[in-house]
Amino acid sequence: MDIQNIVDEFVELKARCMFQIEVFHDPVHGQIALHPILVKIIDTPEFQRLRSIKQLGGVSFVYPGGSHSRFEHSIGVAHLAGELAYNLQSRQNIDITDRDILCVQIAGLCHDLGHGPFSHLYDKVKQSHDNTWKHEKASEWLFDHLVEHNGLEDEMVKYGLKKEQLQKDLTFIKEMINPVKKQNPWEFKGRGEEKSFLYEIVANKLNGIDVDKFDYLDRDCHHLGLKNTFDYQRYFLLARVCKVNGRNHICLREKDEGNLYDMFYSRYSLHRRVYQHKVTQNVELMITEAFKGAKPLLKLSEPTNQDNIEDYIKLTDGVFEKILYSSDEENMIEAREILQRIQERSLYKFVGEEKDTLSDKEKEELINKLEKDLLPPGSLEVLTFKFDFGKGDEDPLDQTYFYRKDKPEEGFTIPKEKRSTLLPEHFCETRFRVYWKNTENNDEVNEKLQELKKTFSEWFQPQ
């Protein structure tokens, strides 16, 4: 390394260290240096709550290593958000300030504040009672509560944000946490359209390429003992901001198309092998049944909003133990028994799985046939799920922009005919599984299960 490079690195390090940084050791990213305002946020009850919420819901009942929490994931996302933003700032003459970068890091740190018990599992349970529920919106409410309850506005001004622009910055942070406003025309208030690329760092609604995904792919694979073929560090080195159709977007070198497909394939593979494993779904189905049976404890029937967010803060994975070790309250007995069966590994019976080519009427006919002679009505549960690259049946690279080495300021999409011919013809597959909600293990039950499996299999055989 020559003297000039050493000087440049020293200047950059000095700029980052205007305040006393805190160093965290992360099992995935190594030594992480965090801005003091991020540490202030981490040291609040609202953020510490994430220690008690598993990143992967019920996966740890199948993969014992998958018991990591939203706490360390959120810290990892804040770190990666800062690294990507600093890379863009240092390699190009673009309008991105240290204040912008700090806001992006705060958004990365707080993007998952609103998750409930067992993460996405709670979303499904809550949405069955309130179809407007989104954990991203709850993250906004919790962020507001965190800032107000802990008096962090003054701390934010003390550590780098400007008082006269603070409300605009707080709006910007919440817009990155929950980016639901329209981009055409530009409706975001935190930053103008010229800084549109900043909204693609934490939660990229354009194509799903963001640091949230970079962290959970690496972190989940690390804890599950699996391999992740995607290299986000290469992405950081090659990413730059280019103007496409009059708007600034994060673009990548065209030769790195394959690296991005590796990322989407890694996501698909984790869904197939882990997140939607048939036993994972079985366990989560049972936890869901227990949670529904313990509605008062989880306040499922009560609307959650910014006015009662303090009650929601108390909901963590600890509700599992509260149900499991509850007294003999009449309204909790059934829920407790379900969780006891999970612990004893007495799970529901798996009947079969097929591609979801049936209409709702055909599914109903199949279930009626399975239950007609063997089971009481309502004994079977049908779960429909999908495997995709994150954008349904669309190729996510349709909305991904690239640049050429000889024209680094011009962004473009790669036409389909010029992409790899080894890609799938379709990018989404919907499947469904049938479970028998019976946890007994005896000859009669096993015999019925074999009949159910045989009938299910015959239904899909060619006539």
Q: Which residues contact 462 (CB under 8 A, 6 or more apart)?
A: none
Given this model, what pLDDT does residue 15 score?
47
Given this model, what pLDDT does residue 173 score?
98
Assigned CATH class of 351-392+428-463: alpha beta
Given this model, what pLDDT does residue 10 score?
45
Does domain 3-273+406-426 fall into CATH 1.20.140.10? no
Q: List active site positions.
A: 135
Mean pLDDT by 10 residues, the chain (463 residues): 52 52 94 95 98 97 97 98 96 93 98 97 92 94 97 92 94 96 90 96 96 98 95 95 95 94 95 97 97 86 85 94 81 91 97 93 92 87 94 94 95 92 89 96 95 93 72
In the chain, what are the domain boundaries? Answer: 3-273+406-426, 351-392+428-463
Same fold? 3-273+406-426, 351-392+428-463: no
Measured between alpha carbons, how far is 98 from 86 in angstroms, rounded to an integer? 9
Measured between alpha carbons, how far is 69 from 71 in angstroms, rounded to an integer? 5
Given this model, what pLDDT does residue 3 score?
63
Q: Which of 256, 264, 201 is nearest to 404 (CA)?
A: 256
Q: Tell me the two tokens of residue 10.
A: 């020293």
Helix ranges, 178-294 (H): 211-224, 232-238, 257-270, 278-293
Q: Cα 35 from chain centroid?
A: 24
Given this model, what pLDDT does residue 1 score?
47
Given this model, what pLDDT does residue 18 score?
53
